[in-house]
Amino acid sequence: MRISNLLACGLLQATAALASTREARDKKVIPSKRPHHPIAPHHPGSPLPASPERTKTCIVQSNGNGTDDSANILKAIKDCNNGGHVVFPKDQKFTIGTALDLTFLKHIDLVKDIQGTIQFTKDTDYWQKNAFYHTFQNATTFFQLGGNDVNVYGGGTLDGNGQVWYDLYAKDIYILRPILFGAIGLHGGRIEDLNFRYSPQWYTLVANSTDVVFSNIDIKGGSVSKNPAKNTDGWDTYRSNNIVIQNSRIDNGDDCVSFKPNSTNIVVQNLWCNGSHGISVGSLGQYVGEVDYVQNIYVYNISMSNASDGARIKVWPGAQSALSGDLQGGGGSGAVSNVTYDTMVLANVDYAIEITQCYGQKNITLCNQFPSNLTISDITIKSFTGKTSSKYEPLIGYLVCSSPTVCKDIRIEDINVRSPKGSNLYACGSIDGIGKQVNCTSGGSKGGNSKMRLV
């Protein structure tokens, strides 16, 4: 009797999943219209490929009561792949407890309507074993969204259930914490009008992707316990080209945006960042034998408050070092070139500008003995206004390279930033050509502290 009941239950669920994909046709459900936020005022260069209109619609229905909706979601996506909309209805909460490999997508829109939520389960044991592993810095993701011509929008919320991870990480720094949104091998797509909440680690990883736009993304989430939410970068780009991140609000605890190895032709514009570690190039040069490039980056019109940095370029030294137990490296090679930071308003930011080739190395003398194998050149930082915090008074910036031979053509101009007491002094070392507007003190010390700041 019990077995027949289970079979009947399974049959009902399968029937419900099939019916959900037909419901759109039966009820003539009309998905939310694509937002199509214009890419402005700057564009990364290459135009984005066209995204044709979709011709069919599938609706995902929640099982309710916090049970896993992954099977329903996957079926709807497969039914509407190659030309359709998948609609997650408003006012419904969806639960994902299964790692979903969605790298097969083609010409599909995923629509999470306003007030609806997709939340990942708290099963940390499952996710550590089954989340998708991406090698670089031991990054893992709850899911992989990839393929060609994929749009995600609608105003809904993606929730990573981060608190359980913040508390677990405080006990064991070697756990693998999943990233909330993984654009992995995505070629052509727009991610727009969404809320990202409580990611266990980085909020967004864009890896091995091209021609992707993020617009009007609201990122927020912190810990409610004594254990902080760490490493919660807003975006990390990695081995990706022709990416736009714009018109978004980020309230987090690490880099607002970070350009990881082999990020090229990227525009970041019109962001409000609070509580972060700035807009960062790097870290780069972490792995021996790897060649890291970051080229053709334009960062424009940023509001940066309560942060460790405004503009930041961070490169590992030529010798191995350990930043922390779960983050160590150095000795890699490559180049940072043609990077522009244009227009930033600062409020209570520790350093307006920071350039270091000694990332992760506490001993500056040792770092200078093993200069970085990665060059920094053709950098423009301009039109900054506002105030720093008092943390490194009287310094407002830190510009220290490991050798002037690997750090050149750095232009810093029109910087109207002061410390709380009115200073505009920079710590400078092994760096040439930064212009007369930069008021330097030699030695590379940090407000009297010779140790590198490890953040």
Task: Supply the DSSP symbol for 421.
Answer: T
CATH code of the domain containing 72: 2.160.20.10
Whether 448 is in a domain gets the answer: no
Query: What angle in degrees, to the nearest 10, is found between the helix axes of 2-27 and 70-80?
Result: 40
Angstrom distance (rounded) from CA 68 to CA 63: 7
Closest to 178 measured CA to CA, from 206, 195, 155, 201: 201
How many Cα neighbours within 13 Å face the side chain of 204? 29
- Nearest CA-CA partner of 74 in 109, 98, 106, 107: 98
Q: Give the active site residue among 42, 134, 187, 277.
A: 277
The sign of the dihedral angle between the CA atoms of 445, 449, 450, 455 is negative
Q: One digit per residue, pLDDT tens: the chain, 455 residues? A: 444 443 444 444 444 444 444 454 445 567 788 998 999 999 998 999 999 999 999 999 999 999 999 999 999 999 999 999 999 998 899 999 999 999 999 999 999 987 889 999 999 999 999 999 998 889 999 999 999 999 999 999 999 999 999 999 999 999 999 999 999 999 999 999 999 999 999 999 999 999 999 999 999 999 999 999 999 999 999 999 999 999 999 999 999 999 999 999 999 999 999 999 999 999 999 999 999 999 999 999 999 999 999 999 999 888 887 777 777 888 899 999 999 999 999 999 999 999 998 887 777 777 778 888 899 999 999 999 999 999 999 999 999 988 888 898 999 999 999 999 999 999 998 887 787 889 998 655 443 333 333 33
Q: How far is CA 453 from CA 41, 158, 398, 439, in A?
A: 35, 33, 11, 21
Identify whether 403 is part of a domain. yes
Domain assignment of residue 421, yes or no: yes
Does residue 413 fall inside a structural domain? Answer: yes
| 322-to-79, 229, 361, 362, 445 alpha-carbon distances in Å | 48, 21, 7, 9, 20
In a domain, 451, yes or no: no
Complete DSSP assignment for 134-167? -SGGG-EESEEEEEEEEEEESB-EEE--THHHHH
Domain span at 357: 2-442
Whether a cis peptide bond, with omega within 30° of 0, leads into 394 is yes
Residue 450 counted as domain residue? no
| DSSP classification of residue 390 | S
Instruction: Please indicate, yes or no, if residue 449 is contained in any of the structural domains.
Output: no
CA angle, residues 425, 431, 435, in degrees to nearest 5: 60
> What pLDDT sits at residue 29?
63
Rounded CA gap, 372 and 333, in Å?
Answer: 8
Structure tokens at 183: 């654009």
Rounded Cα distance, 426 and 246, in Å = 30
For residue 105, tell me if it sits in a domain. yes
On whether the pTM is more than 0.75, the answer is: yes
Show Cβ contacts of residue 330 under 8 Å, excluding neighbours closer than 6 positions.
285, 286, 288, 316, 317, 318, 319, 320, 321, 360, 361, 370
Six-digit token string for 324: 């922390």
List all residues 6 or more positions away from 179 whose beta carbon is below 8 Å from its beta carbon: 139, 140, 141, 142, 199, 200, 201, 202, 203, 204, 205
* Burial grade of 248 (CB within 10 A; 0-12, 13-18, 19 or more): buried
For 367, the 3-state DSSP assignment is helix
Domains: count for the chain: 1
42 catalytic per annotation: no
pLDDT score, position 441: 87
Task: Give the pLDDT score at 28.
Answer: 56
In angstroms, what CA-CA distances link 65 with 50, 92, 93, 113? 40, 11, 9, 20
Residue 27 CB neighbour total at 10 angstroms: 10
User: Which amino acid, 363?
Assistant: N
